[in-house]
Structure 1
Amino acid sequence: MGRLLASAEMARAFTIAVLAAVFSAFTIERMSSPVTQATILAVLCAIGAAILWVRREELSLLRLAPTSLLVFLAWALVSVVWTTDRSDTLFGWMALFGYGFLAITVGHIRDTLQTVRALGDTLRVLLLISLGLEILSGVLLDIPFTFLGIQGDLAIGGPVQGIFGSRNMLGFVTVIALITFVIEWRSQSLTSRIAIPSIALAAMLAILSASPTVLVLALAVGVVTVALTIVRHAPAERRNVVQWVLGVLVALALAAAFALRHPIIALMDAGSDFSIRATLWNTILDFSAVKPIQGWGWFGSWARGEYPFTYINFQLDDHHQSALNSYFDVLLQLGAAGLVLFLLLGGVALVRSWLVASVRRSVVYAWTPLMLVTLAVESMFESFTIVGAGWFMLVLCALRAGQSRSWRENIDAAQTGVIPTLRAEG
């Protein structure tokens, strides 16, 4: 049994199973129940713990998980002391920990290229299933599949949801898929015969989702890709100067985007959608002011019948299931302290992964910073990054970034006598 758990075949099978369960969570819950999904995750966590135990000699306790992640999880758990419902907070924290533990396990048993390939294989299948169900619902049968949230609007050009529950979630997944498919192709893990149809499939579903966030994500990822390409091809002696120049340009671009936010919103035809979000965020700020440091307690997705979520929806005469913004959600639930920890988790990971990708010539190292930028931008419009697949990807990327650049490498080096270095390749 130990040999099986430690085998490469088991690591690949486990990774595929985890990715399929994480990204199919909505469909599993709708076709069965949330208890079924929780059971699947619990079984996978148990298997993951067994795999890590068998591989314990390969692991370093100091580098098992990023410190920022551990502190954030600890703060979310401590919020059970002041939460409005301790049982719901515990269940919410268990989900947070479960998805995070699965990401940590995958991050330790698969390297970056293996992870990219496994994610690519999984998303190809899930996107094909989504397209197939949309064709069946919207073209062949012309009836909605309400139990999956599929409206059957493919024949009129969308929007479509696939098996992900909403058009915005489908749009988010397609952007993740596009990044992954392109990295697979550029790293020669896929032939053009598979890569090009995969990219076309993701792009088509991104367009059909009609999600207003897809355009923003595509623009952000495109700009970051160009910037990273410039840095990677800059001479080593000029790389720091290029980094600073790009940093100043990014700051100026963000300032310009803020100043021109109203024309940009009008151009995207997202005025009413943004107005709804702005009203929601203003209300959240009012409630956050009551408990500014610690927040109201961790719940993840807004629990039904819990204060202050129900009262916020009552005031707005709406039925929001999140703050439609990961940062506002963390501020509401874990206060300013939790928001700082959340920003540290993502920010430190982004800086680390960017520095690694800027000196390593293999294109696969670009996957982590591009994914983190996607998560950061998506967090401005949805709360996907603090639950489910989004949280899984954040933890996985944070772990991946920390494995290449971490203060704990120096401690390991002191114990082993090996000095870690990060040389520019090429």
Structure 2
Amino acid sequence: MNPRGSSPTITAVRHSLESPQLASVLTQLALGVAFSASLLRDLIGLPGLRGAVFALVVIAALSLVARRRTLGWHGLLPLSILIFVAWCALSIAWSGYTVLSLVGVGAQLTWAFLAIYIALVRDTIQILRATGNVLRVLLGVSLGLEVLSGLLLDMPFRFLGIEGNIASLGPIQGIFGSRNALGLIALVAAVTFSIELRSRSVTRNVGIASLVLTGVMLLLTRSPVIVVVALFVAIAALALYWLRRTRVEIRWRLQLGLAGATVVVGVIALVARSRILALLNAGSEFEVRYTLWREMWRLTGLHPLEGWGWVGTWPQSVTPYGWLDFVTKHNQTSGLNAFIDVYLQVGLVGFILFLALVTLAFVRSWLLASNKRPLVYVWPALIVVILLVISTAESTVLTGFGWMLLVVCAVKAAQGMSWRTALARHPHQNHDHD
């Protein structure tokens, strides 16, 4: 029966906006646009991409309004996300490029909103399946275009950035703009497909075929950065496997041991960083990175607390980014290190807030993965590990799909381990034993 005063059309629209089918489709569309942003920008231009994202935001906002009475809002947004985004927005006030900062903050808020929508209306297993469906298609398209370019037609598709190097076994980048971006997305896919297969979310044949596709794409990127990230992810996966099979009463000791071992390895890596970087150096790539980081570090000293102002993806037309292009003799779209990038854009305050955000996301998701029986809880933890490790060599986590994945994982982890949710559920807990 229709509510009093509501027409059948309005009621039908409201039911559509509340439907799980719309939430499922919108989740896959948002993930698809985020992961294929480079392809869409090449095909329909930046205005077209922005129009597509804006349409998703409008529909998601209407869907949230329609669902507002059925959603649990306690502990929805981690304060770490809210404060970091607020500081980035505040940096518009002192930015020397106000319009570009407005655009950057707008993009940051847009992807964060879509991530929050996904985390709020879909369970983790549903997000896992949606991610798997999207990445199977996009990786398949990437491989198909690389084969078409490098083997069948023997000609590059320069408008997509595809050079046709598959005949020489790479490096390839597919539809994602760079080999490191392809490698990162393939790692996310590898984790997703593995958990899908283990949890029987897909058939065995689909799961195995998906993992083979991912393995081929990873090998063909020929990226030293991705090799290192994959190694860390494998170690993290083994650690979680060990923890999840350890008795609950002694699990905390193993957690402390793993934390201590991580600190020791980190210190060793810091001391031996020159030798490690030399081993990973591929041609002049590291020299460019080192020059860039050194100059970025010098520039942070000019605005140490507040930074230069948030922009997200770097513009080339304003200071200091044009200067950094000149120094490195390359067109840079990011700082190739998320932590130094954040420091440059929003200063020491922003750096501390970002560090708090990623640390809380990691700790919460890791503890949930260690202590919750369903295998799906492992997915956010390993995705955060991927994003943290890649952040030492790329700034992907600050924009686009990287930022979206971080916010999704942070929100889902906070829903599982939020102190505000605990207080809301047990408001008188502190007085029970008075």
Q: Shorter-chain TM-score category?
A: over 0.9
Task: Give distance in 2, aligned partners of 1:3 and 1:63.
Answer: 26
Alignment of 1:14-25 (within 5 A): 14-25=26-37
Residue 261 of structure 1 and its aligned partner are, at CA, apart by 2.9
Question: Are 1:230 and 2:236 an aligned pair?
Answer: no
- Counterpart of 2:156 in structure 1 is 144
Match status 1:111 vs 2:145:
no
Q: CA deviation at 1:414?
A: 4.0
Structure 2: how far apart are the matches of 1:318 and 1:5? 46
Q: CA deviation at 1:271?
A: 6.3
Correspondence 1:38 to 2:50: yes
My pick for the range that moved more, 303-312 or 315-324, is 315-324
Match of 1:68 among 56, 62, 80: 80
Q: 5+ residue gaps in structure 2? A: 1-12
Please name the residue that 1:424 is paired with: none
Alignment deviations for residues 130-158 of structure 1 (CA, whole Å, 9 cap, x no partner): 00100111111111111110011111111
Q: 2:78–2:410: 8 Å Cα contact kept in structure 1?
A: yes
Q: Between the two proteins, what is the percent identity of the paired residues? A: 40
| Letter matched to residue 117 of structure 2 | T
Inter-partner Cα distance in structure 2 for 1:151 and 1:329: 29
Report what 2:219 is aligned to. 207
Query: Aligned residue for 2:7?
Result: none
- Deviation of 1:411 (Å): 3.1
What is aligned with 2:94?
Answer: 82
In structure 2, distance between residues paired with 1:293 and 1:269? 32
Deviation (angstroms), 1:60: 3.8
Aligned partner of 2:192 in structure 1 is 180
1:220-243: CA deviation from partner (whole Å, max 9, x where unpaired): 001111111111111111011111
Report whether the alignment pairs 1:334 with 2:351: no
- Measured in 2, the distance between the counterparts of 1:27 and 1:281 equals 28
Distance in 2 (CA, whole Å) between partners of 1:92 and 1:124 is 30
Q: Which runs of 5+ in 1 are unaligned?
A: 420-426
- Provide the C-alpha distance between the structure 1 equivalents of 2:48 and 2:329, rounded to a whole number of angstroms: 32
Q: Secondary structure at the match of 1:18?
A: helix
C-alpha offsets along residues 355-401 of structure 1, whole Å, 9 cap, x if unaligned? 11111111111001100000000110011000111001011110110
The offset of 1:418, in angstroms, is: 9.7
* Cα distance in 2, alignment partners of residues 115 and 12 from structure 1: 9
Give the distance between the partners of 1:192 and 1:347, measured in 2 at CA. Answer: 35
Residue matched to 2:62: 50
CA distance in 2, matches of 1:191, 1:260: 45
Write the distance in 1 (CA, Å) between the matches of 2:280 and 2:79.
39
More divergent stretch after superposition (264-273 vs 119-128): 264-273
Shift of 1:103: 0.4
Q: Using structure 1 for the length normalisation, give the TM-score.
A: 0.95
For residue 343 of structure 1, the aligned residue among 347, 355, 359 is: 355
Residue 299 of structure 2 aligns with an amino acid whose one-letter code is F
Equivalent runs, 1:23-422 vs 2, <5 Å: 23-270=35-282, 272-414=284-426
Is the CA contact 2:292–2:327 (under 8 Å) kept in the aligned structure 1? no
* CA drift at 1:268: 3.4
CA RMSD of aligned residues (A): 1.5
**Contact 1:265/1:271, CA 8 A, preserved across alignment:** no
The 8 Å contact of residues 134 and 152 in structure 1, kept in 2 or not, is answered as yes
AA aligned to 1:176 is: V
Separation in 2 of the partners of 1:60 and 1:191?
33
| CA deviation after TM superposition for structure 1 residue 161, in Å | 0.8
CA distance in 2: counterparts of 1:282 and 1:268, whole angstroms:
18
Q: For the Cα contact (< 8 Å) 2:105–2:310, is it kept in 1? A: yes
Output one character per residue of 1:166-211: Cα deviation in whole Å (capped at 9) or x when no partner.
1110001000000000010111101210001100101100110111
Q: Spell out, residue by residue over 1:249-285, the C-alpha distance to the aligned partner (whole angstroms, 9 max, x if none).
A: 1111122223333443344343632232122111001
Distance 2:124 2:417 in 1: 14
| SS state at 1:68 partner | helix
Which letter does structure 2 place at the counterpart of 1:328? I
Greater than 4 Å deviation, 4+ residue runs: none
Moved more, 150-159 or 261-270: 261-270
Task: Give the total of aligned pairs.
Answer: 418
Q: Cα deviation per residue 1:45-74 (whole Å; 9 max; x = unaligned)?
A: 111111111111122444332111111111
Partners of 1:349 and 1:401 in 2: CA distance = 6
Number of the residue aligned with 1:6? 18
Cα distance in 2 for residues equivalent to 1:15 and 1:290: 42
1:63 counterpart SS class: coil
